[in-house]
Structure 1
Amino acid sequence: MLLLPHTIVGATIAAKIGSPWLALPLAFLSHFAADLLPHWNPQITQEMETENHLRSGTRRFILVDTFISLIVGSIIATHFLPNVQKTMVVLLGCFLGVLPDLFESPYFFFGIKNKYLSKLMHVQKKLQWNLDLPWGVLTQVVVVILCFWLLSS
């Protein structure tokens, strides 16, 4: 799943669940649950396995997804100002929602790999339910719309 839906799901959980002690672990775990949904991803694992690096277009796509996720997560969080605590919890929810993918970035961007990262990547790969375009993006759009509906209610 792209970073943007993970960010918005994490923000929604953090915003809607009253206790940060419950919301933040759930935001983290939501990453794995969301990856079980059918979705489209850039084929970064295959590129690393076949070419030993990410193509420049794939790198650009990931950076744009990251940038948009940072902006959208920040916008969602600022809606809770002046409640600074709630704003921070929502920002942390965004961060924790994408954290498993962030852990993988040293491998994909710098080729750095260790046994812990290998285990995480193995788990992440098993959880993925990849769909081709356009259906794999459509499922993510539905997730995002559902989250915004929940945030607005």
Structure 2
Amino acid sequence: MILTSHIIISGILASKTQNYFLAAAIGLISHYVLDAIPHWDYLSDKFETQTKTDKNFVKRKTFWREIIKISIDGLAGFGLLAIFVFLDKDANIAPLIIGAFFGILPDALQFLSWITNWKFIKWNLLVHKFAHGLIHKKINPCFQSGVMTQIATIGIVFLIMRGGI
């Protein structure tokens, strides 16, 4: 899923606890659960391959275009999460932020492992590939349906947490 979905969902879920460790666990676990749901990602497998095969990839325009997309995505997620905090006066802000941070940490580690080849974070790639392979790889939705699954998932979590379902 894109960062916005991970930020909003993990932040909303974690906002219902007072325990910071639980908020972090909620963020991490929700990330992998959400990645099992069929969705669309803007970073392609080609990007991962390029980071491994082209040693100068970080100097190329393509790399920096991806960094801009990632930054806009993350800022949008935290901006929408701020709106949630404004709407839900009972939200626990510290756990919400911790949950949102840990909700995107696996993607940050994945990105780091692509561009640095650090061995100690390779475990995350294995867990990521496993989560994506549960359902997601079997369906592999197009852009429209992949985005709709993310919007629907955010909406369902929001309604459940607000007591609407």
Q: 2:120 aligns with which of 116, 119, 124?
A: 116
% identity of equivalent residues? 21
Query: CA 1:34–1:127 in 2, change beyond 3 Å: closer, same or farther?
Result: same
What residue is the counterpart of 2:111 in the other structure? 105
Letter in 2 for 1:97: G
2-structure distance, mates of 1:99, 1:25: 11
Deviates more, 1:132-141 or 1:69-78: 69-78
Instruction: Find out whether 1:136 has 2:150 as its counterpart.
Output: no
Gaps of 5+ in 2: none
What residue is the counterpart of 1:25 in the other structure? 25
Map 1:50-69 onto structure 2 (within 5 A).
50=50, 52=54, 53=57, 55=62, 56-69=64-77
Letter in 2 for 1:126: F
Is the CA contact (8 Å cut-off) linking 2:8 and 2:78 kept in structure 1?
no
| Superposed CA RMSD | 2.6
SS of the counterpart of 2:116? coil
Alpha-carbon offset, residue 112 of structure 1: 0.8
Map 1:90-101 onto structure 2 (within 5 A).
90-101=96-107
Query: CA 1:79–1:95 in 2, change beyond 3 Å: closer, same or farther?
Result: farther
Gaps of 5+ in 1: none
Is the CA contact (8 Å cut-off) linking 1:7 and 1:97 kept in structure 2?
yes
- Number of aligned residue pairs: 149
Letter in 2 for 1:13: L
Letter in 2 for 1:124: H
Alpha-carbon offset, residue 23 of structure 1: 3.8
Q: TM-score, normalised by structure 2?
A: 0.75
